[in-house]
Amino acid sequence: MNGVRPAILVGLVTMAVVAQSVLFRHLDVEGVVPNLALVVTVVAAIARGPQFGAVLGFGAGLLLDVAPPADHVAGRWALALVLVGYLAGRVRQDARSSTLTAVLVVGAASFVGTSVYALTGLVVDDHSWAMGEMLQVVVISVLWDLALAPFLVPLLLKVMDATQPARAL
């Protein structure tokens, strides 16, 4: 059973990135799709804590950085999702209090993660948007993630709870 738990989490992240890259690209709004990898990272951080969220965020971000049609410097999403995973894990007690609170944490994390991604593009001179377009992308991304979060958060929390390692007595 020990190998099954990590495989389920890897499968979730992989499915999120594939859905984000393949399925949702046909439903984009101004070229922006929901960041399902970010949602999985946030829910994992809420369920397991900041260290787990940061590590899963790094893996999910790296996968996003190399998944086609990636057109940016690798590492930008990894950095953003590490930060998001850590911060979401830090507020896990509050986020577990209600589904609405967890959804709001997803929205805040989406804002932070997308902003970090956009701003790192400026730092490494890997940006393709003007500042006004960047703000538009951040807003659309947050709205996408908030629209899907009420459906995904309860389901993903159940999966995370089911894959929680047994605690020693």
Q: Does residue 169 fall inside a structural domain?
A: no
Q: Where are the alpha helices (DSSP H) in the chain?
A: 4-18, 36-48, 50-66, 76-90, 92-95, 99-123, 131-162
Q: Is the pTM of this model over 0.85?
A: yes
Residue 70 has pLDDT above 80, yes or no: no
Asked if residue 71 is part of any domain, the answer here is yes
Instruction: Please give the average per-residue pLDDT across 110-137, as a whole number.
Output: 83
What is the pLDDT at residue 93?
86
Interacting residues of 113 by C-beta distance below 8 A, sequence separation 6+: 35, 38, 80, 81, 83, 84
- Which of the residue ranges 5-14, 125-134, 142-151 would you say has the lowest mean pLDDT? 125-134
Flag whether 167 is in a domain: no
Cα–Cα distance measured from residue 83 to residue 128, given in angstroms and rounded to the nearest whole number: 23
Q: How many folded domains does the chain comprise?
A: 1
On whether residue 84 sits in a domain, the answer given is yes
Q: DSSP string covering 36-75, please?
A: HHHHHHHHHHHHH-HHHHHHHHHHHHHHHHHSTT--S-TT
Domain range for 136 is 4-162
In sequence order, the 6+-apart residues with CB closer than 8 A to the CB of 133 are: none
